[in-house]
Amino acid sequence: MNIQAMTPAAEKIRLAETDDGTILFKVPFPKEMKDIQHMSPIIIKQPYHIDYIHSYGQDSPFFAGLANGKLLGTKCPKCKYTYGTPKAHCMECGSPTEWFELPEVGRIHTFTVCHRGGEEFLKETPFILVLVEWDKVDTLFLSRLVGVDTSKPSLKMVGMKIKAQFKRNAKFRPTDVYFVPAE
């Protein structure tokens, strides 16, 4: 049998074209190969998605609290050390801790105005990060402060009363809670 008779001409062998993913039309190409090293880089934007399944484990009550408008801290029943964050075991004595609801109103312990941010927060710069303190709580809580002019930061803000506010649609992230001036 003549093999040539069975094989289509080479130029007719083609993979199917698809219209998903990135398509660039009419990409310029230099006439002379010597010019190709001077071409501008091609920059494309493409979606990137991955489903990541992970457990919040012993921190789960903290996130359940955020979804229900409650900010939970932890307390050691043995040595009485009190944490403004989820902490399954006491850092001082190692005992299992107990959950409690943090006071509604806290104070700014310290703050910083962020003019740069990671990709997620880039659009929101400048924004304010605060370390929140509460009476009778031994550690601080890092959070966002909104409702304060970021162009006029002042040391007078230290000690200012602030209160927790919660996103209506919880995303089960620490950013589900943020702080606003309490008065």
Q: How far is the CB of 139 from Zn ion (least distance, A)?
A: 12
The Cα 171–Cα 62 span in angstroms is: 13
Sole window of 40-48, 55-63, 93-101, 129-137 interacting with Zn ion (rule: CB under 5 A): 93-101
Q: Is 92 in the site for Zn ion (CB under 5 A)?
A: yes
How many residues touch Zn ion under the rule CB under 5 A: the total is 8
Taking CB under 5 A as the rule, does residue 93 contact Zn ion?
Answer: yes
Strands (DSSP E) along 57-173, which ranges?
A: 72-75, 82-83, 98-101, 105-114, 127-133, 141-145, 161-166
- Shortest Å distance, C-beta 75 to Zn ion: 9
For residue 18, what is the enclosing H or E element?
A: none
- Identify the bridge partners of residue 127 per DSSP, sorted by sequence position: 114
Least separation in angstroms between CB 77 and Zn ion:
8
| DSSP SS3 for 156 | helix
Sheet containing 72-75, strands listed edge to edge, beginning at the edge strand earlier in sequence: 82-83, 72-75, 98-101
CB-based contact 88:97 (threshold 8 Å): yes
Q: Which is nearer to Zn ion, 76 or 108 (CB)?
A: 76
Query: What is the SS3 assignment for 145?
Result: strand
Instruction: Spell out, one character per residue from 38 to 77, where the chain touches Zn ion: x when CB under 5 A holds, - when not.
Output: --------------------------------------x-
Among the listed residues 66, 71, 72, 90, the single contact to Zn ion using CB under 5 A: 90
Backbone angles phi, psi at 83, to 5 degrees: -110, 135
142 binds Zn ion (CB under 5 A): no
Q: Which stretch binds Zn ion (CB under 5 A): 4-12, 13-21, 88-96, 100-108?
A: 88-96
The contact set with Zn ion (CB under 5 A) reads: 76, 78-79, 81, 90, 92-93, 95
